Structure 1
Amino acid sequence: MIDALISGKLYGQPTERTSKTGKPFALAKVRAAGGDGESLFVNVIAFDTAPCTALLALGDGDSVALSGSLTPKVWSDKEGNARPGLDLVAHQVLTAYHVTKKRNAMQRGENVSGNAPATRQQRPKDEAWRAMAPHDRSGLDDGAPLDW
């Protein structure tokens, strides 16, 4: 399996199912843009509560970014041509809603859950960066080529 970050648009409506043990899970299909201009379909399954809830709140055509364990597959189309496919077990789901919610919370000085003020570390001013930097840089370059 491969740790992956996939982004694309939902193809169809995500569905909720229940396993034999009674635990709910969500299924979805994402159309991701391939490097050659063709679309690549990613079959998504989510078992944890947060990614399941996030997927089920979306509809056909919504943009989504998913992270999780990716498994490459091959399937045959109607003409019998081998086509690439991907199966993803989603661990995290990020949508435009999540980005907007986090951005607004940070602007209000709240943490992401909205309960208490967030402690934001301030970036030092340029003068502070210069004061921390070494003043004598002559020893940093020995003139030798780098081994890449």
Structure 2
Amino acid sequence: MIDALIAGRLYGIAEQRTGHAGSNYVTCKVKAMTDDGDSIMCNVIAFNETIRQTLLRLEDGASVSLSGALTPKVWTDKQGNARPALDLVAHSLLATGQATPNEQD
């Protein structure tokens, strides 16, 4: 586990879910840009009530910064290429508001 800070744009909208024991959590994806101009997807899960509610209010494309426990992963696409991915358990969040259509990629 790595304690990390990521920044990017919400990809899609956040979804609220309920665990087997009845606990609520929110999942979403954040598209972050790399130094070489590529992007990497970060799968985010949040258990904290404040973070959950904030993520649920954001629209697709909203700018966010999240910190928490990061786990790097690798997955293989349909062409057989190894691709990086990130899983983040969010502990804190900074959202800059909702994106307007011309701000989205």
Same fold (TM over 0.5): yes
Partner amino acid, structure 1, of 2:79? E
**Gaps in structure 1 of 5+ consecutive residues:** 98-148
**Percent identical residues:** 56
1:72 has 2:72 as partner: yes
Which is helix-richer, 1 or 2?
Answer: 1
* Residue in 1 that maps onto 2:4: 4
Task: Write the deviation string for residues 108-132 of structure 1: whole angstroms up to 9, x where unpaired.
Answer: xxxxxxxxxxxxxxxxxxxxxxxxx
Q: RCO higher in 1 or 2 (8 Å CA, sep ≥ 6)? A: 2
Moved over 2 A (4+): none
Partner amino acid, structure 1, of 2:67? S
- The count of corresponding residues between Structure 1 and Structure 2 is 97
1:42 has 2:46 as partner: no
Partner amino acid, structure 1, of 2:26? A
* Residue in 2 that maps onto 1:28: 28
* Residue in 2 that maps onto 1:96: 96
1:85 has 2:85 as partner: yes
Tell me by how many angstroms 1:78 deviates: 1.8
Measured in 1, the distance between the counterparts of 2:79 and 2:56 equals: 33
Tell me by how many angstroms 1:51 deviates: 1.0
Partner amino acid, structure 1, of 2:36? D
Which is strand-richer, 1 or 2?
Answer: 2
SS at match of 2:79: coil
Task: Write the deviation string for residues 6-59 of structure 1: whole angstroms up to 9, x where unpaired.
Answer: 000011111000001111100000000011110010000001111111111111
Larger radius of gyration: 1
**Gaps in structure 2 of 5+ consecutive residues:** 98-105
